[in-house]
């Protein structure tokens, strides 16, 4: 579908932005926003999402409010807007009181067309009051998937956005996200209460990203593979881990190997994270070793490789994280190291993701024993009252309780209990609902595992996961495509079947097997269709079972 924009917009694009041709999806989004629809744009990182609100901000009569999760991201956006002579008001916790006051003053004087702010600031009545003096023409929610507690980047402060939208007179909303499955889109629309929603999905296929999976067995092999990949790849890169412990271990291991590495995870201090990020962005440090805490809003065009040293929790997370590579359009490699044991780490995260009935009951009790007179409690106060419940889990639980109408969230972010509710029964029913949700999460993890184990084209699998049609059946560059092309060039004859070989499907981990040309190796993983074998030189190769013979 192509949308033709009015000539006035085309002229604006040429004259102010020096743009003659829009990228996929941009015209549809701009058109939908200018027509006053709520719009959800699913566009890969680096596909020009900001243009989708910059253009309307110049055309619409009134203020455009842009909500971003990260202050670092906002700084970058502010500089770009200044370059377009759209001096934005910036209101966040990092600009200092005086600067924030000045920004609020100028908003109150209606000097600005754009204000950049965070979801936390939007919960501040003073900020809302200043914005309210303007006619708000558009509210933009960047990284909109953060509002979904089903998403891997859930940010509880996003839950306050719908209140702000109402307080600002319900302007049209533009929700932007890099990637979203249908379930996530549905949840974003529901949470943000989007009306007459127009969803625009731009193409997710980026042929410059070259995907591969390498199988490893054990921590030593993982470190060795990470070292060799980092040594081999040119340019800047990110090594992602699932756990803080592994991030620290690999960081130390790479440093020992003489690599220029920085470290970033949720347990680093704010100053450490800032320094690491700055060193990586400036190119002072070539490789970043990080958990998924690192990356959202990182706009470094020349990331040449991304290694996932451990299995991520979902294909969505994997696609988003690898999407940070190759934004300049040049080739970039995305390699997943897969150890069959890694799934246990993710299973552990899943098991602890949702609060159970007992936790919910504890929270309800903490909100006040008597149903009628309990004063609302802030999140901090509740956290103090329940030190055994992790903060994030507490927030998820409170959202669940509000959704079930057992608790209520007030404008200032505090919570109280709704009177006259049969709490015990309702708590049990939400717990059951979340048990169901856990099952879906397990299916999400299964999809990730399937990707890691499969011999199909990686891109074909990713696009299929997002329900996107029209991509290539074979990308021609991923490890599976390359292997298939090689196999077509050098067909290997099956080994003659022996009495034991006839039941070749029954290989098990640890079996010694012989493969023609490669010699004897050890089975490290199997499924019905294939067997992964590690050879003495450390390589792991994949075989159809009938090409293998069991060794005594
Ligand atoms: Zn492929």
What is the 243 CA–ligand 1 centroid distance (Å)? 29
Tens digits of residue pLDDT in 107-132: 777 777 899 999 988 988 888 988 88
In CATH, what number is assigned to the domain containing residue 166? Answer: 3.40.50.300
Choice between 45 and 113, residue whose per-residue pLDDT is larger: 113
The arithmetic mean of pLDDT across residues 1-20, rounded, is 80
Question: What total number of domains does the chain contain?
Answer: 4
Same domain, 378 and 407: yes
CATH of the domain at 526: 2.30.30.140
Residue 472 alpha carbon to ligand 1 centre in Å:
9
Contacts of 454 (CB under 8 A, 6+ apart): 461, 480
CA 332 / ligand 1 centre spacing (Å):
14
Give residue 452 CA to ligand 1 midpoint distance, Å.
Answer: 13
Q: How far is the CA of 522 from the centre of ligand 1 (A)?
A: 27
Q: What's the pLDDT at 492?
A: 63
In terms of domains, do 184 and 317 share one?
no
Q: Are residue 45 and residue 187 in the same domain, yes or no?
A: yes
**CB atoms inside a 10 Å sphere around CB 221:** 18
Q: How far is the CA of 177 from the centre of ligand 1 (A)?
A: 25
> Is 129 found in the same domain as 37?
yes
Between 165 and 537, where is the model more confident? 165
273 CA distance to ligand 1 middle (Å):
35
- Mean pLDDT to the nearest integer, 499-527: 72
Residue 167 sits in the same domain as residue 249: no
- Cα–ligand 1 centroid distance for 474 (angstroms): 5
Query: 310 versus 440: which is more confidently predicted?
Result: 310
- Bridge partners, residue 537, by sequence: none
Average pLDDT over residues 87-99: 79
CA distance 343 to 148: 23
Ligand 1 centroid from CA 315, angstroms: 16
Give yes or no: residues 157 and 246 share one domain: no
Band (pLDDT 50/70/90 cuts) for residue 499 is very low
Q: Is it the case that residue 47 has pLDDT exceeding 70?
A: no
Q: How far is the CA of 193 from the centre of ligand 1 (A)?
A: 38
Measured CA to CA, the distance from residue 6 to residue 122 in angstroms comes to 33
- CA 395 to centroid of ligand 1, rounded, Å: 40
d(CA 29, CA 37) in angstroms, rounded, equals 10
Percentage above 70 pLDDT, the chain: 92
Question: Nearest to residue 152, comparing CAs of 308, 312, 317?
Answer: 317
Same domain, 168 and 232: no
Q: Is the Cβ–Cβ distance between 230 and 259 less than 8 Å? A: yes
pLDDT tens-digit profile of 266-289?
A: 899 989 999 999 999 999 999 999
Confidence of residue 240 (pLDDT cuts 50, 70, 90): very high
**pLDDT tops 50 at residue 338:** yes
170-229 pLDDT per residue, tens: 999 999 988 777 788 888 888 888 877 888 887 788 899 999 999 999 999 999 999 999
Domain that holds residue 423: 352-442
Q: How far, in Å, from the CA of 39 to the mean position of ligand 1?
A: 32
Q: How far is the CA of 489 from the centre of ligand 1 (A)?
A: 17
- Specify whether 254 is located in the same domain as 134: no
pLDDT for 306 beyond 90: yes
pLDDT at res. 115: 92
Asked whether residue 194 falls in the same domain as residue 226, the answer is no
Tell me the three-class secondary structure of 217-274, residue by residue: CCHHHHHHHHHHHHHHCCCEEEEECCCHHHHHHHHHHHHHCCCCEEEECCCCCHHHHH
Distance CA 180, CA 468 (A): 11
């Amino acid at each position: 579908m192509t949308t033709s924009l009015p000539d006035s917009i085309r002229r604006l694009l040429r004259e102010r932005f020096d743009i003659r041709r829009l990228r996929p999806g941009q015209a549809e989004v701009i058109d939908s926003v200018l027509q006053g629809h709520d719009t959800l744009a699913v566009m890969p990182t680096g596909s020009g999402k900001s243009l989708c609100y910059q253009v309307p901000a110049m055309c619409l009569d009134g203020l455009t409010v842009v909500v971003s999760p990260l202050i670092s991201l906002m700084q970058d956006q502010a500089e770009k807007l200044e370059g377009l002579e759209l001096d934005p008001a910036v209101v966040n916790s990092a600009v200092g009181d005086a600067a924030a006051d000045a920004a609020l003053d100028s908003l109150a004087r209606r000097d600005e067309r754009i204000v950049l702010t965070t979801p936390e600031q939007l919960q501040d009545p003073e900020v809302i009051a200043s914005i309210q003096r303007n006619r708000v023409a558009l509210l933009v929610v960047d990284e909109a998937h953060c509002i979904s507690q089903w998403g891997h980047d859930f940010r509880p402060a996003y839950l306050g956005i719908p209140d702000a939208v109402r307080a600002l007179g319900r302007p049209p909303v533009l929700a932007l996200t890099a990637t979203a499955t249908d379930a996530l889109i549905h949840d974003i629309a529901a949470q943000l209460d989007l009306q007459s929603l127009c969803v625009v999905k731009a193409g997710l296929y980026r042929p410059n990203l070259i995907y591969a999976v390498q199988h490893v067995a054990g921590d030593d092999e993982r470190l060795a593979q990470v070292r060799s990949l980092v040594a081999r790849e040119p340019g800047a890169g990110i090594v992602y881990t699932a756990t803080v412990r592994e991030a620290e271990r690999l960081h130390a291991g790479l440093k020992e190997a003489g690599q220029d590495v920085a470290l970033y995870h949720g347990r680093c201090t704010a100053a450490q994270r800032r320094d690491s990020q700055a060193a990586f962005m400036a190119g002072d440090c070539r490789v970043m070793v990080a958990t998924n805490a690192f990356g959202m809003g990182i706009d470094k065009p020349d990331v040449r490789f991304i290694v996932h040293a451990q299995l991520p929790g979902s294909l969505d997370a994997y696609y988003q994280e690898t999407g940070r590579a190759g934004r300049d359009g040049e080739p970039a490699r995305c390699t997943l190291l897969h150890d069959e044991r890694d799934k246990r780490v993710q299973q552990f995260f899943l098991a602890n993701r949702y609060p159970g009935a007992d936790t919910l009951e504890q929270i309800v009790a903490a909100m006040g024993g008597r149903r009628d007179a309990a004063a609302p409690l802030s999140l901090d106060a509740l956290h103090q009252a329940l030190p055994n419940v992790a903060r994030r889990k507490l927030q998820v639980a409170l959202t669940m309780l509000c959704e079930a109408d057992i608790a209520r969230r007030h404008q200032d972010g505090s919570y109280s209990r709704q009177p006259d509710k049969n709490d015990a029964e309702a708590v049990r029913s939400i717990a059951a609902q979340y048990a169901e949700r856990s099952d879906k999460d397990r299916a999400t993890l299964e999809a990730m595992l399937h990707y890691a184990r499969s011999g199909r084209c990686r891109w074909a699998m990713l696009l299929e996961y997002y329900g996107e049609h029209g991509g290539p059946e074979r990308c021609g560059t991923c490890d599976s495509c390359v292997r298939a092309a090689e196999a077509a060039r050098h067909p290997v004859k099956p080994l003659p079947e022996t009495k034991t070989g006839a039941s070749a499907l029954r290989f098990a981990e640890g079996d010694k097997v012989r493969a023609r040309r490669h010699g004897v190796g050890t089975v490290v993983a199997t499924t019905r269709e294939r067997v992964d074998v590690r050879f003495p030189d450390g390589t792991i190769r994949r075989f159809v079972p009938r090409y293998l013979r069991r060794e005594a």
